[in-house]
Amino acid sequence: MIRYLPNFLSALRLLAAPFTAWLILGGHDTAGLLVFAGASASDGLDGFIARRWGLTSDFGAWLDPAADKLLMLLSLLSLFAIGVAPLWLVVLVAARDGAIAFGWLSIKLFALPIATTPLLLGKISTLVQAFYIFMALLLLAFGLDAPHLALAAAWVCGLLTLLSAVAYAGLFWRGLFAGRPMAS
């Protein structure tokens, strides 16, 4: 049974994404905060279990980031819909994740010689996105208004998202043209 626990936790996170969005949109701020926090914590737990007991799989390597991206994107979209998250941040996160997904599919489809392991900067970016969403939900749940804090957190989140996008794009282009002569 433990063999499937990491994938089970990722699947629960995948299911928690639309539920979290529904809670946020419905004004159930505390419940949204708790579900989001639990889903975010499951990300670290499933990775720890998979690495600790050697329970990694190709399916899990796909499911885990897909669940992360869906949780972040739906939560950010919901926060935007209720006037909390800025549109530019939602667009930036969606564009980065869409580009990563497109790159990953291209690598697999065309058997490109490019590593598909996540970058540390990408993991940090996802962690900062989770902290941003957690902070926004925490402020909502406690009825606190901290516009300067929220804006600063959005800018930090956006900057790290942009830096990770540039890092992944650079990795993709270097891998794509590695060992191939460049056209002049």
Give residue limits of the domains in the chain. 2-177
Structure tokens, 123: 């993991």
Contact 163, 121 (CB under 8 A): yes
pLDDT of 184 above 70: no
Q: Confidence band (pLDDT; 50, 70, 90) for 182?
A: very low
pLDDT of residue 113: 83
pLDDT of residue 115: 81
Average pLDDT, the chain: 92
CATH of 2-177, one of 1.10.3470, 3.30.1490, 2.60.120, 1.20.120: 1.20.120
pLDDT of residue 176: 81
pLDDT of residue 180: 55
Residue range 153-176: average pLDDT?
Answer: 94
pLDDT, tens only, 93-124 = 999 999 999 998 988 898 888 888 889 999 99
Q: Give the 3-state secondary structure of residue 55.
A: coil
Cα distance between residue 135 and residue 128, in whole Å: 10
pLDDT of residue 179: 52
Contact 46, 9 (CB under 8 A): yes
pLDDT of residue 183: 45
pTM of the model: 0.91
pLDDT of 70 above 80: yes
pLDDT, tens only, 1-46 = 678 898 999 999 999 999 999 999 999 999 999 999 999 999 889 8
Region of residue 26 (left: phi > 0; alpha: psi -120 to 50; beta: else)? alpha
Helix (H) or strand (E) holding 97: helix 87-109
Q: Give the 3-state secondary structure of residue 142.
A: coil
pLDDT of 166 above 50: yes
